[in-house]
Structure 1
Amino acid sequence: MELRRLETLLAVAEEGHFGRAAERLFLAKATVTEHVKQLEQDFGVPLLDRSPVRLTAAGHRLARHARTLLTAAEVARADVAETASAQQPGTLRVGVMGHGSAELTPATVQAFRTAHPEVDLRLVPMDFTEHVSALLEHRVDVAFVRPAPEDERVEIDVLTTERRIVVVPARWELADAPEVHLIDVLDLPFVRLPERTPRPFTDYLYFTAARGGEAPRRGDDAVTPHEVLAAAAAGRGAGSALESFQRFYPWPGTRCVPVVDAPWEHSVLVSRAGDASPEVRAFRTLAAGLARELGPGLRLTPA
């Protein structure tokens, strides 16, 4: 007994017509007729009255069993398909805020792709307002951000520890200094971040601890490194960053000046707390290993 023949019987019964059943099943009318005849031969009883077309008593009993069998077959197909899908290569979405963790970002991505070519790794650019929201809203699976979030919903791997710089217009007097102190930069007009920007990032950008919690003078709006640089090049505001920033964003009309007495700051890889995804675990392991291996060579940690 073939399931296809049972499906045909049900279609004829529901349509009350062999021709309409054939159209519904995309079969020839002769094939539909043959399916019903074969079922009647298998069971040894008439299953359909022909005029009008309707189920016999035996046909009604078989139809109940047919619906159960067809439903079970569909459940089995879905279950097997789900298992097969679970065995397919996964996807890993890697969020990157700005230049991420300097040279460690491309190094980790390349190492992961080499070690796990079966995984679809996708890079997702993030702006300053997405410090943790992109991760917690499941838009990314791991993310290179700075500074380290203060949030129990995420796990943190510290990758770099770097000194701080300010990004200023090249025409400002401050731009010619080989280095500056916090007292020299606290009164600068800093780029303005949206209200939704997480507090740890605004405190980081504005050196809030050094200014006693007071807000800075405000320049142009910015939510990405490019917007910070554009504002600085136009003389419309300053920004701050980690020292590696200047290796990745040389920008005409701007200067990056070290702030020698500012506390050093981390760049980190964050993931959702308790995430047991094998792709996430493998990426974290690679990033942490490369941080230990490449960090001293890149002089990203204090001597």
Structure 2
Amino acid sequence: MELRYLTSFLAIAEELHFGRAAARLHLAQPSLSQQLQRLERDIGVELVARTSHEVRLTAAGRAFEVEARRLLDATQRAVTVAREAASGRTGMISIGFNYPAGQRVLQPTLLRLAADYPGVSTTLWEARSGPQLSALTEGRLDVALVFAGPPSAQLRSQRVATIPLVAVVSRRHPWSARAEVPFRELADQPCVLFRREQSPAMHDAILAAADRCGIALTVSDEVDDSGATGIVVTTKPVVGFASAARGAHPPGHGLSAVRLVDPVPTVGMYAVWRPDPQPVVSAFLDCLEAAGPFVDRPPAAAATRPDPAGA
């Protein structure tokens, strides 16, 4: 059964006149009659009774009209949904993000996405950079908002922002009353770092800043979790590290964020995705670009008490 036969039948059902129905469909009347005959032959029942004086639907025709209209409406909806999905206007996107991305990047981007693409749904997963990139490679994420570019040539990336890093100390630490500290003074301080596999870019940025200063950091502890960093910093005379976004939102954990200068260690934040993205991913990336630029600055004063360092 061809859909055009249904369209022709519905025109006849509405007009109850073959001439008007044919004109409406821009068909010759004999062609319209042939389509009706083929439809009735396919179904095996008479749908339209026609005499020289009238055209009327049979009982079967009236019943068929209702379902035929539903079928054509459903077909049109399917076409619309397919076209919107192909254009990125509908669909589902899974987005990974780290803490700074959640504070600076994600909200304005999702507001733009909701305004421009209201048919797009999102799932969000907050995680550090390493786990996000693993999930992206395995196909469990569509886009990752992470520190540093992709670890593989098989992934694509776009730089989103440059994020300063700050020192995190206990309020009992001598640095807690200082607005800023030259990076070279870390030569005399034991430090706690994230394990590199959790946030390679943050780990490497701190060590690179130490190299530029000509100092070697004393790493007394390595941790996998931001909460563990906070525990170590509050129980030992050590220095941890955080993004400026962490330092700008103090939840009251008894910690202080202190700006690091000369040099200011920074990490790049990137959007990373797989090649040949689905249209909905391209739509998200367009909204990400439109929502920017994104700026992150170190906290203004040493009194800030951030959540423990994280990536």
The answer to whether the 8 A contact 2:97-2:132 is kept is no
The answer to whether the 8 A contact 1:167-1:239 is kept is yes
- Closer, same or farther in 2 for the Cα pair 1:107/1:229, shift >3 Å? farther
Which residue of 2 is the match for residue 96 of structure 1? 97
TM-score computed with the length of structure 1 as normaliser: 0.59
Q: What CA distance in whole angstroms lies between the structure 2 residues aligned with 1:175 and 1:187?
A: 16
Q: What CA distance in whole angstroms lies between the structure 1 residues aligned with 2:132 and 2:102?
A: 14
Moved more, 249-258 or 150-159: 150-159
The answer to whether the 8 A contact 1:164-1:260 is kept is no
Which residue of 2 is the match for residue 141 of structure 1? 142
SS of structure 1 residue aligned to 2:148: coil
- Closer, same or farther in 2 for the Cα pair 1:193/1:264, shift >3 Å? closer
Amino acid corresponding to residue 219 of structure 1 in structure 2 = D
The answer to whether the 8 A contact 2:162-2:267 is kept is yes
Which residue of 1 is the match for residue 255 of structure 2? 254
Q: What CA distance in whole angstroms lies between the structure 1 residues aligned with 2:297 and 2:206?
A: 22
The answer to whether the 8 A contact 2:128-2:198 is kept is no
The answer to whether the 8 A contact 2:187-2:216 is kept is no
Q: What CA distance in whole angstroms lies between the structure 2 residues aligned with 1:185 and 1:251?
A: 24
Q: What CA distance in whole angstroms lies between the structure 2 residues aligned with 1:111 and 1:177?
A: 39
Q: After superposition, what is the alpha-carbon deviation per residue over 1:94-113, rounded to whole angstroms, capped at 9, x for unaligned?
A: 10112326322211122213
Unaligned runs of 5+ in 1: 1-79
SS of structure 2 residue aligned to 1:191: strand
Q: What CA distance in whole angstroms lies between the structure 2 residues aligned with 1:227 and 1:250?
A: 16
Q: What CA distance in whole angstroms lies between the structure 2 residues aligned with 1:244 and 1:193?
A: 17
Which residue of 2 is the match for residue 43 of structure 1? none
Aligned residue pairs total 216
Q: 1:218 aligns with which of 197, 217, 220?
A: 220
Q: What CA distance in whole angstroms lies between the structure 2 residues aligned with 1:235 and 1:211?
A: 25
SS of structure 2 residue aligned to 1:129: helix
Q: What CA distance in whole angstroms lies between the structure 2 residues aligned with 1:276 and 1:182?
A: 41
- Closer, same or farther in 2 for the Cα pair 1:134/1:107, shift >3 Å? same
The answer to whether the 8 A contact 1:166-1:258 is kept is yes
Q: After superposition, what is the alpha-carbon deviation per residue over 1:131-181, rounded to whole angstroms, capped at 9, x for unaligned?
A: 522221222111221234454233222222243311111111122211111
Q: After superposition, what is the alpha-carbon deviation per residue over 1:257-279, rounded to whole angstroms, capped at 9, x for unaligned?
A: 11112245244232234232111
Q: What CA distance in whole angstroms lies between the structure 1 residues aligned with 2:279 and 2:147?
A: 24
Amino acid corresponding to residue 283 of structure 2 in structure 1 = A
Moved more, 127-136 or 201-210: 201-210
Which residue of 2 is the match for residue 270 of structure 1? 271
The percent of aligned pairs where both chains have the same amino acid is: 19
Moved more, 122-131 or 283-292: 122-131
Is 2:182 the partner of 1:161? no
Root mean square deviation, CA, Å: 3.4
Q: What CA distance in whole angstroms lies between the structure 2 residues aligned with 1:209 and 1:273?
A: 33
Which residue of 2 is the match for residue 183 of structure 1? 184
Which residue of 1 is the match for residue 113 of structure 2? 112
Q: What CA distance in whole angstroms lies between the structure 1 residues aligned with 2:152 and 2:211?
A: 19
Q: What CA distance in whole angstroms lies between the structure 2 residues aligned with 1:156 and 1:265?
A: 18
Q: CA deviation at 1:299?
A: 6.3
Unaligned runs of 5+ in 2: 1-74, 299-311
Q: What CA distance in whole angstroms lies between the structure 2 residues aligned with 1:260 and 1:99?
A: 20
Q: What CA distance in whole angstroms lies between the structure 1 residues aligned with 2:237 and 2:103?
A: 26
- Closer, same or farther in 2 for the Cα pair 1:236/1:136, shift >3 Å? farther
The answer to whether the 8 A contact 1:135-1:272 is kept is yes
Which residue of 2 is the match for residue 77 of structure 1? none
Amino acid corresponding to residue 288 of structure 1 in structure 2 = E
| 1:18-167 aligned within 5 A | 87=82, 89-100=90-101, 102-130=103-131, 132-167=133-168
SS of structure 2 residue aligned to 1:248: coil
TM-score computed with the length of structure 2 as normaliser: 0.58
Q: What CA distance in whole angstroms lies between the structure 2 residues aligned with 1:213 and 1:147?
A: 24
